[in-house]
Amino acid sequence: MSRKAVFHAETWHLKEPFHISRGVKTAVDVTVAEITDGRFKGCGESVPYAHYGESTDSVLEELKAVAGHVEAGCSREELLSIMPAGAARNAIDCALWELEAKQSGKSVYELAGAKRAERPVTAITIGIGCLEEMAMRAERLKDCGLIKVKLNRDDVVAKVRAIRAAAPNPRLIVDPNESWDIELLAAVHKDLAALNVDMLEQPLPAGSDAVLAGFTSAVPLCADESCHTRRDIAGLKGRYDIINIKLDKTGGLTEALALKQDALNAGFRIMVGCMIGTSLAMAPALVLADGAEFIDLDGPVWMAKDRDGGLMIDRGWISESDVPLWG
């Protein structure tokens, strides 16, 4: 049966500015792939990421360049060889997963041989702000199960101490987004451990993390920007304890599932993360959530308005609508 592929860009506004070490977002631009066979339609959303040299225009060009292959019946496995990992491949891959699921009458979980995570809990993120502002946000999140704290180089321990005082019970992730160096890491890791920080995500710039091979951190370290696909696994051994799997880095759920298995086989613990996007981008990532120690899929929490039928997130607990948005 022939296919038709349609690609377009959308802009979704945020409730409030989202501040990380690299800058501030007030809206997010996404690309959407829709693939139909005349009866069923599959959709996928991706987030072009400037840090990886992507823009909405560049991703749309990538999508248009492979439209003929997709409409001719290209499989998800074939996509791995004709497209690089990244946002463009993610949009198509997720759309194909949903199309195949609808054609087969099965869920994506069934097709993937994956188990639905029971009552998954996502991190809720606190963006960078002054110490008092971040503590106030933490107080509002004190009943959540997991908080993720964005930091730069300023007042690291003082901010985490204030957040921990305001929210003594949730697990904590600290995420500097590559803004530290080994000297700062060495200076703060024991204090962060004493504050019961559960994980430190990508403290050093990707490509500059070789020094971690000789460093023992008191807080488990997670590779985010340093881990995109299975090819990166070998170079992370002895440097990191955990890897953060994001579909926009892997280029879709197909590679993400393979990366998860290879990482587990290599002894890594698993985090499932996201770029900020709507529930259409989060739903495919939930397929990876079973067995993950950390889930960070709070993109919809930041949306001024999410998609109809999107994920419901209450104090971090994720639930799907009676008629799931995707899959």
CATH code, domain carrying 42: 3.30.390.10
Q: Do 102 and 39 lie in a common domain?
A: yes
Average pLDDT, the chain: 96
Q: Is residue 326 part of a domain?
A: no
Q: Which residues are 201's β-sheet partners?
A: 222
Residue 22 pLDDT more than 90? no
Residue 306 pLDDT more than 70? yes
Q: What digits encode the pLDDT tens for the residues 62-112?
A: 999 999 999 999 999 999 999 999 999 999 999 999 999 999 999 999 999
Task: Give DSSP secondary structure letters for 31-46.
Answer: EEEEEE-SS-EEEEEE
150 is catalytic: yes
Q: Where are the alpha helices (DSSP H) in the chain?
A: 56-65, 67-71, 76-82, 87-104, 108-112, 131-140, 156-166, 182-194, 233-236, 247-250, 253-265, 279-285
Q: According to the model, what pLDDT value does residue 309 have?
A: 94
Q: Is residue 324 part of a domain?
A: no
Q: Do 203 and 234 lie in a common domain?
A: yes
Residue where a domain stops, chosen among 72, 106, 140: 106
Q: Is residue 222 part of a domain?
A: yes
User: Predicted confidence band at 1 (pLDDT cuts at 50, 70, 90)?
Assistant: low
- Which range marks the domain in which residue 98 is found? 4-106
Q: Do 143 and 207 lie in a common domain?
A: yes
Residue 19 pLDDT more than 90? no
| The residue count for the chain | 327
Answer yes or no: are the C-beta atoms of 325 and 151 closer than 8 Å: no
Q: Do 131 and 95 lie in a common domain?
A: no
Q: Is residue 155 part of a domain?
A: yes
State the amino acid at position 85 in one-letter form.
A
* Identified catalytic residue from 148, 150, 249, 260: 150
Q: Do 305 and 193 lie in a common domain?
A: yes
Q: What digits encode the pLDDT tens for the residues 107-137?
A: 999 999 999 998 899 999 999 999 999 999 9
Percent of the chain at pLDDT > 70 equals 100
- Which of 311, 303, 296, 307 has the alpha carbon at shortest distance from 121? 296
Answer yes or no: are the C-beta atoms of 212 and 221 closer than 8 Å: yes
Residue 275 pLDDT more than 70? yes
Q: According to the model, what pLDDT value does residue 324 have?
A: 86
Q: According to the model, what pLDDT value does residue 264 have?
A: 98
Percent of the chain at pLDDT > 90 equals 93
Q: According to the model, what pLDDT value does residue 216 have?
A: 97
Q: Is residue 112 part of a domain?
A: no
246 is catalytic: yes
Residue where a domain stops, chosen among 78, 106, 134: 106
Q: Do 54 and 88 lie in a common domain?
A: yes
Burial class (CB in 10 A: 0-12, 13-18, 19+), 26: exposed
Q: Is residue 327 part of a domain?
A: no
Q: Do 62 and 143 lie in a common domain?
A: no
The predicted model scores a pTM of: 0.96
Q: According to the model, what pLDDT value does residue 23 have?
A: 83
Q: Do 166 and 204 lie in a common domain?
A: yes
Helix axes 87-104, 253-265, angle to 10 degrees: 100
Q: Do 188 and 250 lie in a common domain?
A: yes
d(CA 174, CA 219) in angstroms, rounded, equals 10
Domain count, the chain: 2
Q: Do 198 and 227 lie in a common domain?
A: yes
* Identified catalytic residue from 4, 106, 159, 246: 246
The answer to which of 19-28, 183-192, 253-262, 292-301 has the lowest mean pLDDT is 19-28
d(CA 294, CA 13) in angstroms, rounded, equals 26
Residues 6+ apart with CB under 8 A from 44: 32, 33, 90, 91, 92, 93, 94, 95, 96, 97, 98, 252, 280, 284
List the CATH number of the domain containing 272: 3.20.20.120
Q: Is residue 81 part of a domain?
A: yes
Q: Do 133 and 30 lie in a common domain?
A: no
Q: What digits encode the pLDDT tens for the residues 139-198?
A: 999 999 999 999 999 999 999 999 999 999 999 999 999 999 999 999 999 999 999 999
Residue 259 pLDDT more than 70? yes
Answer yes or no: are the C-beta atoms of 223 and 213 closer than 8 Å: no
